Structure 1
Amino acid sequence: MASPFASQLGTNYSPNDEEVPKIEALLVEPALRLKRLEDEIGELQKALDKLAAERESLVAYVEGHKSLLSPVRRLPLDIIQEIFLACIPTHRNCAMSASEAPVLLGRICSSWRSISLSTPRLWAKLHFVEPPRSYGPYASIFHTTRTTQHLEGAKSWLGRSGLCPLSISLRTPHTSHAPVSNSSLQEFLQTLIPFASRWQHIDFSMPLATFDVVSQLTETDVPLLESVAFYPFSSSETGWNRFRVLHGLRVSSIYAIGDDLTAEDFPIRWEQLTVLEMAGATWRTSMTSEIVLRILRKTPKLQSCKVMLNDGHPSSGPGILSSHPPVECKFLRTLQFSCENAAATFTQLLDRISLPEMRSFILRWEIDSHGGRCPSLAHQFKRWTQLESLDIDSESTPTPDLLEGLCSLPPTMRRLVIHDVGLPVQVPLDASDSLPGLDVCPLLETLEIYRCVNISDAALLRFIAARMGVAPRATLRRVHIKFNRYMTFDILPSLQPFIEAGLDVSISHTELLPMRFTPWLGMSDT
């Protein structure tokens, strides 16, 4: 609509006394027209509201009847149960939480709740966590209430498991001030004892004194037990020979931690053992290369072995293994050593072990006060012709020896992980114009380097581009690098085509901490 005041609209202009009546006269007809439009809109809105209400009623009617035709309603009970079982975590036990199966499945509808409660296999895996203690005037009451609730929930959970073999893990906050005598874990263990005949996998991490409840059991009490993991919170002698459950008829996997670990003290049926994993402080362990040889000799079915070694004792010397004949481990696929010094003895140990099926090797070498370093492993890598994964700590390995070892890796290598790296940028990972890096590990799929310092961003870019650019050898799938230095330039834009093609790339650098500045510094109200 045309207006003589169009140029003043939207400004701060103030009309004078003569212009005010003119503006009021201009608004009479538009105001009436606006009123008529509002009335018309109101009538139309009433009609729309009536139609919307009718539509909602019809939608509810149609959707309600369509839901009766939903295929899931007609699934047989056994199919629904299998779907429920597929929701259970496979790599761990189930948490006592309503945010995941099996508890979550019972929160959907009454029918699903009935099905979940009547499917014992859903409740055969349980992870129990002791509620943490707090401080305050009502802390004790609060902790007791939470403990009671957790215990009752665990009892109900186990009661629903029927006659299924059980997989149970226990964890507690590692606090020295928490009195063991009042620990809810002891109460829960007492609850577990009647179910011992159905234990299949147990994983207990708790104070050492709490294990006394378990030590009362014998091998006949646990006929189904297959794997045992004991992680006591103590640096004193554990006395592993008192745990007679380790001698169960079906026990084939042992996981343990402790400073006094000597696997030979374990009451194990060695001939059926397939997994042996022990952890702890290497400088306190009494495990030597000689003991490891004896263990490997009496475990013909062993598939995975992870142990600590300390050959720094006076009784352990380079020549002590000369009297031991070689040991062939026909099924051993994973081998991990955490070592303390004695490089010569360690070399002799590897020389006396035949590993025709070796797939994964992990080495953690502790540098002692004398500067002991890991020996060159090039000779061993040439022997392990089917090796696929290597995880090594290069900080404890002289750079020439490490490079020699990497260049000796078999062509079957698919995963390479290096910690505390100190590699120069030239070879073998630096793919320069002549691409020498392509000759090393041609089937490499995963490369992970942590606390990387000496490999440049440019060298990493050239290596990835060369690997991804040669079609017959483009096997690289994952590159994770954590630099322990600042970025020289950002290579991610250059890697974007490879990332879009499916390459999983994660590259991080040490970042400068930002300065915290505030103009109110020192003022009383801040």
Structure 2
Amino acid sequence: MAHRKLDIDKPPESARERKASSAESLAFDVLSHIFLQCLPEKGFPAPSTKVAPMLLARIGSRWRAIAMSTPQLWTDINLSDGGSPSHDYSKDSMAAEEWRVLAGSCLLSYRIAYTKPRYELNAVLDAILPHHRQWKHMECCLSFQAWSRLHSVVSRSALNLRYLEVKGDYSSSTVWKTTVMNVTNPGCPNLQSLLLADCNIPFDLIDTGAPWLRKVVLDFRRVELTMDECCRFLHHCPNLEIFAAHCTSLEPQTTPTHGSKFIAARHLKKLCLVVELAVSWQVFDRLYAPALDTLDLADFDYDLPGYPHLPSFFGRSGARLTSMNLGLDMTGDEFRDSFRKLPALTSLQLHPDSTHDVLEALIMRPMNRILPLLECITFTSFVNSQTDLVANIVLSRWRGSNGNGLSTNTTNEKSGNWERRLRSVRLVGRVHTSHTPCSRVLIPRIKACIEEGLEVIEDDQKDTDINPWLFAANQ
């Protein structure tokens, strides 16, 4: 068979020209679709000629024409000073105006993060604020003065706004108190996600409710948030699906003023509460959440003799939780009572304040087949004295290579034929009061399980507190 001789004398530019001509031959709608795939998967593009979409407009006249005629390329923009004190705000204002023109009638999304805001920031706001009727997503880290201008527009007319995230300047937290956030104001009636961090904005939750709100995150670790305010959100937002809050207020919860003492959160799926100084159990005495799937709860009131309110809440709601992260002081009986009401639980995280009785309750025995569907357990910074208990929990729940569990275990009890689903153990931090990694203490005890396929994940984190901001924002 004759083979064509390769022409190696042709310059390499010809190959590039052929590729370029192939790309040029693509139809407008095909190239436009390809351009959209060049945008970042997460976050918003910056107004930089080094990344799409501006980069696409610099590769030939046809690409520029297509990029400039594809409005969806220009709907999202990230404006940030990058921490630079010499940032040029005028370039940001020009970019905001140009992108708005190119986006045409499409809805607009902004991420504005200025760590060292100056008077020149007003030029950026001047380019953004007049087009509030086109806003879909507004994410901002601003000084109080800049937020005041933005809030005046939001409270009047941002009819298409779906997502609002505000992170305040903590250095001026006292002046933040002068602005009231009317969550149900007519300016943004379609708001679905509200995230507030360290801005200390008082809430005016009027009785008409906020039916469109699906997600609320209140990350007030450095400013005061009361349990009453949390309850008002849960009460006035009937379709809320995600609620996360960090409460640090000594102010006692007041008696409910509405008709029923119960808060009917029928659509709530994820609840995260981190409570310092406040009293969290009062919420669970009133809450009814039949659709709840995930609960993250940390209560740092160590004077409580127990936490009987949680099993009562589970019984009242009848929710089929699949994931729970608990950092609070409960008795073994309270844990067992809670676990019996959560037969669908597949993921559980425990913190170092878990008592001997609590861990003992998790060991599966012929007469204690509790949480049979549990697949993943996270142990956070457990103490040396708990090593045997943790090992026995794993050994009693390991499903084995064939899914039936090990033939023997260290609990000195006959291995029953009960259902076991455990497939993963996560060890977070180091052994409490020691510099020894958790794994070094535990792994030798569960070596047989690991050899049969048990997944052990080590996470040497120092900060193991539940963080509601990360919890909700990453969903």
Query: Which TM class, normalised by the smaller chain length?
Result: 0.7 to 0.9
Deviation at 1:198, TM superposition (A): 0.8
1:413 aligns with 2:345: yes
Q: Distance in 2 between matches of 1:373 and 1:326?
A: 24
Highest relative contact order (Cα 8 Å, sep 6+), 1 or 2?
2
- Whole-angstrom CA distance in 2 between matches of 1:430 and 1:478: 16
Asked if the contact 2:272/2:295 (under 8 Å) is kept, the reply is yes
* TM-score, structure 1 normalization: 0.66
- Equivalents in 2 of 1:359, 1:392: separation in Å? 14
| TM-score, normalisation: structure 2 | 0.72
CA–CA distance in structure 2, aligned partners of residues 474 and 93 of structure 1: 44
Q: Which has the higher helix share?
A: 1
- The answer to whether the 8 A contact 1:375-1:401 is kept is no
Structure 2 Cα separation of the partners of residues 113 and 464 of structure 1: 64
The residue type equivalent to 1:482 in the other structure is: V
**Deviation (angstroms), 1:385:** 2.9
Q: CA deviation at 1:104?
A: 5.2
2:286 corresponds to which residue?
A: 352
1:216 counterpart letter in structure 2: S
RMSD of aligned alpha carbons: 4.3
1:351 CA drift (Å)? 3.3
1:48-99, Cα deviation, whole Å (9 max, x unpaired): xxxxx985325849846864795x6655432333343344445533344566
1:385-424 correspondence runs (5 A): 385-393=319-327, 396-398=328-330, 400=332, 403-404=335-336, 407-408=339-340, 410-420=342-352, 422=354, 424=356
Distance 1:356 1:223, change over 3 A: same
Matched, 1:304 2:242: yes
Instruction: Give the whole-Å Cα distance in 1 for the aligned partners of 2:69 and 2:307.
Output: 58
Change (3 A) 1:477 1:111: farther
Secondary structure at the aligned position of 2:398 is classed as helix
Distance in 1 (alpha carbons) for counterparts of 2:66 and 2:273: 47
Q: Is the CA contact 1:190–1:213 (under 8 Å) kept in the aligned structure 2?
A: no
* 1:367 counterpart SS class: coil
Letter of the 1:379 counterpart:
S
Aligned partners of 2:56 and 2:64 also within 8 Å: yes
The match for 2:158 among 202, 222, 226 is: 222
Q: CA deviation at 1:268?
A: 8.4
Local SS of the residue matching 2:343: coil
Distance 2:13 2:154 in 1: 63
The amino acid that maps onto 1:197 is R
Q: Deviations over 1:140-182 (max 9, x none)?
A: xxx15x4444444444333332221011121122xxxx5x5x2
Match of 2:33 in 1: 82
Distance 2:30 2:374 in 1: 41
2:161 matched to 1:200?
no
Confirm or deny: 8 A CA contact 1:235 1:259 kept in the other structure: yes
Q: Which moved more, 1:86-95 or 1:381-390?
A: 86-95
Structure 1 residues 92, 388: closer, same or farther in 2, change over 3 A? farther
What code does the residue aligned with 2:111 have? Answer: S
Q: Which moved more, 1:163-172 or 1:468-477?
A: 468-477
Unaligned runs of 5+ in 1: 1-52, 135-142, 512-526
Q: Tell me which residue corresponds to 1:254.
A: 194
Given the superposition, is the C-alpha separation of residues 218 and 296 from structure 1 closer, same or farther in structure 2, using an over 3 Å criterion? closer
Counterpart in the other structure of 2:430: 484
Q: 1:278 aligns with which of 201, 218, 221?
A: 218
Asked if the contact 1:414–1:444 (Cα under 8 Å) also holds between the matched residues in 2, the reply is yes
**Helix, strand or coil: the match of 2:123?**
helix
Residue 166 in structure 1 maps to residue 108 in structure 2: yes
Q: Do the aligned partners of 2:332 and 2:361 also contact (CA within 8 Å) in 1?
A: no
Counterpart amino acid of 2:286? R
Aligned to 2:180: 241
Question: 1:152, 1:218 → 2: CA distance?
Answer: 22
Aligned to 1:328: 264
Structure 1 residue 202: deviation in Å?
Answer: 0.7
Q: What is aligned with 2:69?
A: 118
Query: Hey, what's the Cα distance between the residues in 1 that align with 2:46 and 2:208?
Result: 30
For the residue of structure 1 that corresponds to 2:104, the secondary structure is: coil
Shift of 1:183: 4.8
Taking the aligned partners of 1:66 and 1:493, their CA distance within structure 2 comes to 59
Q: Which amino acid aligns with 2:430?
A: N
Number of the residue aligned with 2:81: 130
Contact persistence 2:243–2:270 (CA under 8 A) = yes
Q: Could you report, residue by residue, the CA deviation over 1:239-267 in whole angstroms, capped at 9, with x for unpaired residues? A: 34377995323223322234745433589
Once residues 96 and 305 of structure 2 are traced to their aligned partners in structure 1, the CA distance between those partners, rounded to angstroms, is: 49
- Following TM superposition, by how much is the alpha carbon of 1:464 offset from its aligned partner in structure 2, in angstroms? 9.7
Output one character per residue of 1:414-457: Cα deviation in whole Å (capped at 9) or x when no partner.
333344454549535567xx6999x4444445443433435539
Q: Does 1:57 align with 2:12?
A: no
Cα pair distance change 1:379/1:218, threshold 3 Å: closer
Distance between the aligned counterparts of 2:168 and 2:312, measured in 1? 38
Report the counterpart of residue 498 of structure 1 in structure 2: 453
- In the alignment, residue 416 of structure 1 is paired with which amino acid? L
Q: Do 1:263 and 1:287's aligned partners in 2 also have CA atoms closer than 8 Å?
A: no
Tell me the distance in 2 between the aligned counterparts of 1:379 and 1:468: 35
Q: C-alpha separation between the residues in 1 aligned to 2:305 and 2:34? A: 52
1:98-156 Cα deviation digits (max 9, x unpaired):
6654345556666444433322112211222124245xxxxxxxx15x44444444443
* Map of 1:50 onto structure 2: none
Contact 1:381 1:405 in 2 (8 A): no
